[in-house]
Amino acid sequence: MGRRSALIIVDVQNDFCEGGSLAVAGGAAVAQAISAHVDEHGGDYDAVVATADWHVDPGDHFSTAPDFVDTWPVHCVAEGGGAAFHPNLTPALRAVQAVFRKGEHAAAYSGFEGRSDDAEQASLATWLTDRGISRVDVVGIATDHCVRATALDAQREGFETTVLLGLTAGVARQTTEAALTQLEQAGVRLSGQPVVAD
């Protein structure tokens, strides 16, 4: 058995795409590009999983006067339409074997803080390790927040981690560039060019 790999699709939810409460420019296009990637390359992965921001009562993660660093407008309320995956991701969802929901009662930027939505209720690290996965590609929204945190945790957990930048969207140029520097310093591989709005 060779080195087994997984694709991790981070937070491609309506609230993080155009029209959502915390919209990232390019989000809908990234959702479509991820579906195309899964269509073309899904068979190359031994597993495909997704993460979802899923808030019940996340405390001061929500604010009516958000600073967009530690506090944010209300977004991805559990079971709400804003928490649903973007329609452009629908084709890719057929390949998704488990969804890892995070942030029920506190801020959670990394998919590795989530639990699977199946009977296992496994952490992402356990789920991947149980399936012999040693290598992951990370894609999704936002490059400078949840993609960054998920990729850093993946590398820290011992997975050989690559961020496919063409399949990510960032909130802002400055924070995205800072995130890419931090990822490289942590040993995460970066592939392709980042998509940033400004």
**Interacting residues toward Zn ion by CB under 5 A:** 53
Query: Shortest approach of Zn ion to residue 53 CB, angstroms?
Result: 4
Is there a catalytic annotation at residue 17?
no
Do the beta carbons of residue 91 and residue 102 sit within 8 Å? no
Q: How are strands ordered across the β-sheet holding 160-169? A: 115-116, 98-102, 47-53, 4-10, 133-141, 160-169, 189-191
Q: Which of 76, 137, 146, 153 is catalytic?
A: 146
In this chain, which residue has its C-beta nearest to Zn ion?
A: 53
**Cβ distance to Zn ion smaller for residue 42 or 80:** 80
- Angle, CA of 130, 133 and 134, to the nearest 5°: 125
The letter for the amino acid at 168 is T
Residue 76 a catalytic site member: no
Measured from the CB atom, is 1 or 65 closer to Zn ion? 65
Of 67, 105, 64, 88, the residue nearest 14 (C-alpha): 88
Judge whether 11 counts as a catalytic residue.
yes
Among residues 76, 102, 137, 144, the one annotated as catalytic is: 102
Q: How far is CA 130 from CA 33, 60, 117, 137, in A?
A: 29, 34, 16, 17
Q: Whose Cβ is closer to Zn ion: residue 37's or residue 55's?
A: 55
Residue 86 Cβ vs Zn ion, minimum distance, rounded to whole Å:
16
CB of 75 to Zn ion, least distance (A): 6
- Which residue numbers are catalytic? 11, 102, 146
